[in-house]
């Protein structure tokens, strides 16, 4: 096993994530490792292959569904576009007629903002369906399928990639390819989850699959330096609950450089990051104890009546696996994603959210970081007498 950032083989096992399987993968990578020579944190993926990972993302697209983004996602995207534009200006580059490539452009909302800001844009999106959506909705150039430099038309003035790199099998090769695709002095904008500020107040493990790689500002800076990028700007962002990305992230704005200003080239975050993660685990355990109390109260309120869980994602499989339901089993799970309706999660059938009224269930436990308020409103619109409790959100009117 080798560190992707510094190629060292001096790797230490830190701990195993608590979850061993999800509805999307039976045996998920869960061992958290750290490189002693640079401090990069990553999951041990030695039991799966790069092809397995590709198949996983082809069969289950867990990202934004095609269609409109909710307002908070949109404002987050506007802010990202503004950050790139202001940094280009700050570092002596304009926007007009600059060619920008976004890798992992999702719905195309951000790509279109770049387009409206004056860039000539091109997108790459792993999901062919999403790429088609970008071409149709925004009439922008977008390549569907894995990142393949062969199909692109370099050189670019700027490459943007937002919360993509942590999912990738070999991020260093991808960053090296970005370097090749940029013209001399071209700019790179990256955003990834911040391994220095892991969020403890969520049920799933912060370091859980699908994120394979976890960087601090300094370890990603080291990777960038080693690929010929000079880090110009760094920003740490605490995303809002409804941002679609409810965790601490950081951004890096870098320039294809000449080796000058490579201040991260020799950093080692090992001691620091190991301490950060030990503290995180303590806080996470305390948080989970509080969730257990909420579940106990929900079950007491439901009495002998059947109850359901709403959302069949990672949060719910974690919820079912990690918490004590006093021997009671949900009658079913509801989810708005057609792709998982009809499947089972921990042996419990998942039904599409549009069928709620067909079931004799009046107690719902919501389990999703992003959408508890809108699902609460949806259920109440079906029957104001439903009892709806949130795992993450408290609804005071539920008494
Ligand atoms: Zn390393």
Residues 53, 148, single domain; the answer is: yes
* C-alpha of residue 25 to centroid of ligand 1, in Å: 28
pLDDT per position as a tens digit, 146-182 = 899 999 999 999 999 999 999 999 999 999 999 999 9
Per-residue pLDDT band for 241 (boundaries 50, 70, 90) equals: low
> Can you give the pLDDT at residue 393?
86
Q: Is the pLDDT of residue 235 over 50?
A: yes
- C-alpha separations of 286 from 20, 203, 276, 282, 368 in Å: 21, 11, 16, 7, 19
Domain annotation covers residue 285: no
> Can you give the pLDDT at residue 331?
97
Residues 171, 217, single domain; the answer is: yes
Tally of domains within the chain: 2
Taking residue 146's Cβ as centre, other Cβ atoms within 10 Å add up to 14
> Can you give the pLDDT at residue 70?
57
Residues 247, 348, single domain; the answer is: no
> Can you give the pLDDT at residue 66?
47
Least confident among 43-47, 81-85, 317-321, 344-348:
317-321
pLDDT per position as a tens digit, 293-310 = 999 999 999 999 999 999
Helix (H) or strand (E) holding 103: strand 99-103
Q: How far, in Å, CA of 18 to CA of 201, rounded?
A: 15
Q: How far, in Å, CA of 21 to CA of 213, rounded?
A: 19
pLDDT per position as a tens digit, 278-297 = 999 999 999 999 999 999 99
> Can you give the pLDDT at residue 245?
62
**Residue 250 bridge partners (DSSP):** 192, 236
Residues 251, 322, single domain; the answer is: no
Q: State the DSSP string of 210-275.
A: T--EEB-HHHHHHHHHHTTEEEEEEEEEE--TTSSS-SEEEEEEEEE-SSTT-TTTT---HHHHHH
pLDDT per position as a tens digit, 102-147 = 999 988 999 999 999 999 999 999 988 889 999 999 999 999 998 9
Residues 83, 40, single domain; the answer is: yes
Residues 21, 117, single domain; the answer is: yes
Domain annotation covers residue 3: no
Domain that holds residue 235: 11-277
* C-alpha of residue 11 to centroid of ligand 1, in Å: 8
Residue with tokens 């391994």: 195
Asked whether the bond before 174 is cis by omega within 30 degrees of 0, the reply is no
Residues 221, 343, single domain; the answer is: no
Q: Is the pLDDT of residue 63 over 70?
A: no
Residues 238, 339, single domain; the answer is: no
Domain annotation covers residue 282: no
* C-alpha of residue 5 to centroid of ligand 1, in Å: 5
pLDDT per position as a tens digit, 202-225 = 887 888 888 999 999 999 999 999
Per-residue pLDDT band for 189 (boundaries 50, 70, 90) equals: very high
Residue 335 corresponds to which tokens in the numbers above? 């989810």
* C-alpha of residue 30 to centroid of ligand 1, in Å: 19
Instruction: Provide the percentage of residues in the chain whose pLDDT is more than 70.
Output: 92
Residues 264, 309, single domain; the answer is: no
* C-alpha of residue 3 to centroid of ligand 1, in Å: 5
Q: Kindly report the CATH number assigned to the domain that includes residue 374.
A: 3.40.50.720
Whole-number mean pLDDT of the chain?
Answer: 90
Helices (H) and strands (E) in the chain, counts: 9, 17
**32-60: average pLDDT:** 91
188 with 256: CB under 8 angstroms? yes
- C-alpha separations of 267 from 34, 35, 37, 217, 220 in Å: 14, 12, 9, 11, 10
Q: Is the pLDDT of residue 60 over 70?
A: no
Using only the alpha carbons of the chain, give its radius of gyration: 22
* C-alpha of residue 39 to centroid of ligand 1, in Å: 6
Helix (H) or strand (E) holding 388: strand 387-390
* C-alpha of residue 273 to centroid of ligand 1, in Å: 12
* C-alpha of residue 345 to centroid of ligand 1, in Å: 36
Q: How far, in Å, CA of 5 to CA of 214, rounded?
A: 11
* C-alpha of residue 226 to centroid of ligand 1, in Å: 11
**259-265: average pLDDT:** 79
Per-residue pLDDT band for 399 (boundaries 50, 70, 90) equals: low
């Amino acid at each position: 096993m080798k560190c992707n950032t510094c190629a060292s083989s001096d790797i230490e096992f830190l701990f195993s994530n608590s979850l061993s399987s999800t509805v999307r993968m039976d045996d998920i990578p869960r061992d958290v490792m750290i490189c002693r020579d640079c401090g990069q944190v990553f999951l041990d993926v030695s039991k799966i292959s790069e092809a397995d990972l590709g198949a996983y993302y082809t069969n289950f697209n867990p990202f934004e569904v095609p269609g409109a983004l909710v307002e908070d996602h949109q404002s987050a995207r506007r802010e990202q576009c503004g950050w790139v534009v202001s940094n280009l200006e700050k570092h002596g580059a304009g926007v007009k007629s600059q060619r920008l490539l976004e890798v992992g452009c999702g719905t195309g909302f951000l790509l279109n903002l770049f387009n409206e800001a004056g860039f000539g844009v091109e997108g790459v999106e792993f999901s062919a369906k999403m790429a088609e959506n970008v071409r149709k909705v925004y009439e922008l150039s977008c390549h569907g399928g894995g990142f393949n430099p062969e199909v692109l038309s370099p050189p670019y003035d700027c490459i943007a990639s937002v919360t993509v790199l942590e999912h990738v099998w070999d991020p260093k090769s991808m960053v090296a390819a970005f370097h090749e695709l940029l013209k001399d002095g071209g700019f790179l904008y990256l955003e990834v989850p911040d391994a220095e500020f892991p969020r403890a107040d969520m049920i799933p493990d912060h370091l859980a699959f699908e994120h394979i790689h976890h960087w601090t500002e300094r370890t990603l800076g080291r990777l960038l330096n080693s690929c010929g990028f000079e880090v110009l700007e760094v920003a740490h962002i605490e995303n809002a609950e409804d941002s679609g990305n409810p965790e601490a992230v950081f951004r890096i704005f870098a320039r294809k450089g000449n080796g000058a200003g490579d201040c991260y080239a020799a950093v080692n975050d090992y001691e620091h990051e190991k301490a950060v993660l030990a503290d995180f685990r303590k806080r996470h355990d305390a948080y989970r104890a509080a969730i257990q109390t909420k579940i106990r109260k929900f079950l007491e309120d439901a009495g002998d009546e059947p109850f359901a869980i709403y959302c069949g994602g990672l949060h719910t499989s974690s919820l079912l696996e990690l918490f004590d339901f006093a021997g009671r089993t949900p009658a079913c799970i509801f989810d708005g994603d057609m792709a998982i309706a009809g499947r089972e999660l921990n042996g419990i059938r998942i039904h599409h959210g549009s069928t709620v009224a067909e079931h004799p269930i009046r107690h719902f436990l919501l389990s999703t970081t992003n959408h508890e308020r809108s699902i609460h409103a949806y259920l109440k619109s079906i029957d104001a007498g439903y009892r709806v409790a949130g795992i993450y959100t408290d609804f005071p009117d539920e008494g």
